[in-house]
Amino acid sequence: MYEDIELWYPYYRLKEEGADVKLIGPGSEEKVDYKGKNGYPATSDTNAKNVKAEQIDAIIVPGGFAPDFLRRYDDIINLVKNAYKNNKLIAAICHGPSVLVSADILKGKKVTSFMAIKQDVINAGATYVDEEVVRDGTIITSRKPADLPAFCKKIIEALK
């Protein structure tokens, strides 16, 4: 139940830039089919248990209902925490920052998100701002699908 455009727009934009993009699922199986909110399918390349923070440059968490499910998996939360500890880029859009809340990495950070989780990010110790894209150190956040151009531009700038 990911927000289709929030997964596929960054996926293809980063591929255009030459990135090796992988879809990482939360469960124990590697190749799992997931449906977006609009029914568009995505198949995971692997799962979070098989990925080490040292192997990646960035994590991008799409919005939709997916973050509420992702945050329930210790392997996802541990991967995000370890990536943060290893100074890897962590980007989240819309409801995606709820995964960062569960990973306990927002304290003292300036972030944005979909307004429905504004209080969650504040309660996690972040300073909430209503801007299309916010970068604070290795964390990049955006609010909604309309912010995707700025969101992807900021991610690409950070990875270069």
Task: Give catalytic status of residue 95 as yes or no.
Answer: yes
Please report the sign of the dihedral spanned by the C-alpha atoms of residue 80, residue 24, residue 90, residue 121.
negative
**Catalytic one among 13, 88, 95, 109?**
95
Is 94 tagged catalytic?
yes
CATH of domain 4-159: 3.40.50.880
Q: What is the pLDDT of residues 86-131, one digit of tens each?
A: 999 999 999 999 999 999 999 999 999 999 999 999 999 999 999 9
- Global pTM? 0.96
d(CA 99, CA 21) in angstroms, rounded, equals: 19
Torsion angle in degrees (nearest 10) through CA of 114, 158, 123, 142: -10
Query: Which token pair is 5?
Result: 């455009």
Catalytic residue selected from 7, 24, 92, 94: 94
Residue 30 predicted with pLDDT over 90: no
Domain boundaries, the chain: 4-159
Q: Is the pLDDT of residue 28 over 90?
A: no
pLDDT at residue 29 in the model: 85
